[in-house]
Structure 1
Amino acid sequence: MSDSKMVLFIVSLFLISSLSHNIAVIANDNFYQDVDITWGNGRAMILKHGKLLTLSLDQASGSGFQSKNDFIYGKFDMKIKLVPGNSAGVVTAYYLRSQGSMWDELDFEFLGNLSGEPYIVHTNVYTQGNGNREQQFYLWFDPTAKFHTYSILWNPGHVVFSVDGKPIREFKNLEPLGVPYPKSQPMRIYSSLWNADDWATRGGLVKTNWSEAPFISTFRDFGANACVWSNGVSSCNVTSSNSSSIAGDRREWLSQELDSTGQKSLKWVQKKYMVYNYCTDTKRFPEGLPLECTVTTK
C-alpha cells in the first residue's frame, strides 16, 4: 500500500469511528414532515397526503423546497420524474448545500432539452466556496416517462453520485494530499425548478419556449440515511427502539466504498455517456489541472 493510500485509510477509520453512534434514518415518505416549500408563490405543491411533491415553472417564477434537517454525512435518495416535452432552457436541481461564503455543495442539475433529445445531467462539487468541478452525462433512458432514483452518498471517504443505483461520479477524500473535502459543514437538501436559458441548453443557444409552460417536475420517496445536525450538535445518537437496524444501515453507508461491480459500472457510464469532464479540460486550466485530477492513490 502506498503512503498516500495509507494516510487516506487511517483518516477514514478515524472519522468513521468518531461517528459510530451518530446515526438517524429519515424515511417518512411524507413531504409534509421532511421538507419546507421555500419559494414559488404556490407553484410548489405537496399532494397525495404527502407522498408526492411537484415543482412548477412559468414565465413569472419557478419554485423550490428544502429539507427540514441539516445533515453531516449520509445517503440521500430521491425519485424524480423530469419535465417532459420541450424543456429547453429549464433546469431541475437537486443538491446538498451548507451555509456561508465558504460553503460546501454537491449538485445534481438536470438540463432541459428539445423534445426527442437526451437530458444532460450536470454534476458539480463545491468545497469551501470553490466549485469548477463539473462533470456532465447523458442519461441512458427517458427521465420524463417514469420516476428514477437519484442518489448522493457522502461519507468520510468519498462522495458518489448515482442514478438508479449505478454510480456515475466519484469524488474522493484527498484532503491529506491538499485537496479540500466537505467534512465539517452541515448541509441541507435543496431542490428547485428554474429558468436557465442563458446557459442550460446548448450553451444558451436554445431558449425557453414559454408556450410550453407550465413546466413541472415531480418528486417522491425522499430518503435520508444520515447524521442529523441540530443547534451545533448531532442529534443522531438519540436512543431508538430500532437501533439494531439503524446500526446496520450505518455500517452500510458510512464506510461504503465502490466494490469491483461499482467500479465497473462507473467506468461504463463514464465511457459511454460522459459529455464533459473538467479533469480533461486543459484549455480551461492552462496553468495545470486541479490537483485532484492529477494525484493517484492506487
Structure 2
Amino acid sequence: MSSSFHALAALLLLSFFIASMADFSKDVDITWGDQRAVVTNNGQQLSLSLDKTSGSGFQSKQEFLFGRFDMKIKLVPGNSAGTVTAYYLSSQGPLHDEIDMEFLGNLSGQPYTLHTNVYAQGKGNREQQFHLWFDPTADFHTYSILWNPQQIMFYVDGALIRVFRNHESSGVPYPSKQAMRIYSSLWDAEDWATQGGRVKTDWTKAPFTASFRDVSFNGCVWTGSSSSCGPSTSGWMNQAAVTSDLQKMQWVQKNYMIYNYCNDAQRFPQGLPTECSLS
C-alpha cells in the first residue's frame, strides 16, 4: 500500500481518537466540592482538591452499558497520606454494580497503592492491590477500564494488570445488566487508606490536588431502556487479552501485586470465591 494511504489511515484514526475525547465542561457534572473542582484549558483538563472541610468529585452526564474508558491522571504529590483519588464506574441502588480503581495516598517517598475491586449485584470483596512502578505524581499516566460482556480488564499506561472474567454460567455475579456512570473524586479516608489507617492526613499540607485530562468515554450510551453503540464498538466489545497482554499482566502481578483476594484463605474460611478456581 502507498505511504499516502497509510498517512490517511493514521489521520482518520487520530481524528476519531480526538473526537472521542470528552470535554469536561460539557460531558461531566461537578457533583460536590463547590469551587474545589475546576475545569481549565477549554474543557480539556479538570482538577479536584481536598481540604479539611471537603473533597470534590465529578460524574459523567451519560450512563453506559459496556465500554472502554480512559483517563489521564496526575495524582496528589508529596505527603498524600490519608487521601484517596478514585476513578470508577457505578450504578445506583443497594444491588449496584461497580468497577473500581482507587489510588491510596502515601508518605513522601513511598509508592502509591492502586486498589481495584469489582462489585456485582451489591457484592464486592474482589480486591487486588498493586504498587505503581513509577511516580504517578510527576506526570500524567493513563488508567483504563475495558468492560464488555466477556470480561473486565484494567490497564495502566496500556499495560494489562488485571482481568475479571464473566463466570455467570458458574453462578458468579457479573456486572452485565446495569448501566453505569463514570465517577472521579478526591476525598479523605485517613481511617484506612494509608498503612491501614496508621498514618493520618497531615492537614498542614492541604489543599491536596489531583488533575485529570484526555478522558475518553467510548461506550454504549444507555438511553433509559436500551443502549446505543457507536461505530467503534467492535474495537472493544469482543476484545480479549492476547498473549502479550497476559505476559505483561503476569510480570506486573509477580513484581507489583501486594494483595489478591484469591490468595486470602484466612479471609474466606468457608472457601475461596468460586471464580478463584476458574480460568
User: What is the identity percentage for the equivalent residue pairs of Structure 1 and Structure 2?
Assistant: 61
- Identify the residue that residue 184 of structure 2 maps to in structure 1: 191
State the alpha-carbon separation in 2 of the partners of residues 192 and 26 from structure 1.
Answer: 25
Aligned 8 A contact 1:93 1:109 in 2? yes
2:257 aligned with 1:274? yes
* Equivalent in 50, 54, 58 of residue 51 of structure 2: 58
- Identify the residue that residue 218 of structure 1 maps to in structure 2: 211
- Identify the residue that residue 276 of structure 2 maps to in structure 1: 293
User: How far 1:26 moved relative to its partner?
Assistant: 7.3
Structure 2: gaps spanning 5 or more residues: 1-17
Structure 1: gaps spanning 5 or more residues: 1-24, 237-245
2:255 aligned with 1:255? no
- Identify the residue that residue 126 of structure 1 maps to in structure 2: 119
RMSD, aligned α-carbons: 1.2
Aligned 8 A contact 2:114 2:129 in 1? yes
Aligned 8 A contact 1:70 1:188 in 2? yes
Aligned 8 A contact 1:26 1:225 in 2? no
User: How far 1:235 moved relative to its partner?
Assistant: 3.3
User: How far 1:189 moved relative to its partner?
Assistant: 0.2
2:135 aligned with 1:152? no
- Identify the residue that residue 72 of structure 2 maps to in structure 1: 79
Aligned 8 A contact 1:66 1:188 in 2? yes
Taking structure 2 as the reference length, the TM-score comes to 0.92
State the alpha-carbon separation in 2 of the partners of residues 224 and 94 from structure 1.
Answer: 13
**Which moves more between the two structures, 26-35 or 108-117?**
26-35
Output one character per residue of 1:78-106: Cα deviation in whole Å (capped at 9) or x when no partner. Answer: 00000000000000000000011100000
Distance 1:44 1:220, change over 3 A: same
Aligned 8 A contact 1:75 1:154 in 2? yes
Aligned 8 A contact 1:72 1:226 in 2? yes
State the alpha-carbon separation in 1 of the partners of residues 219 and 19 from structure 2.
Answer: 7
State the alpha-carbon separation in 2 of the partners of residues 33 and 293 from structure 1.
Answer: 41
Taking structure 1 as the reference length, the TM-score comes to 0.86
User: How far 1:285 moved relative to its partner?
Assistant: 0.5
Matched pairs, number: 262
User: How far 1:64 moved relative to its partner?
Assistant: 0.3
Matched to 1:40, the amino acid is G
Aligned 8 A contact 2:88 2:184 in 1? yes
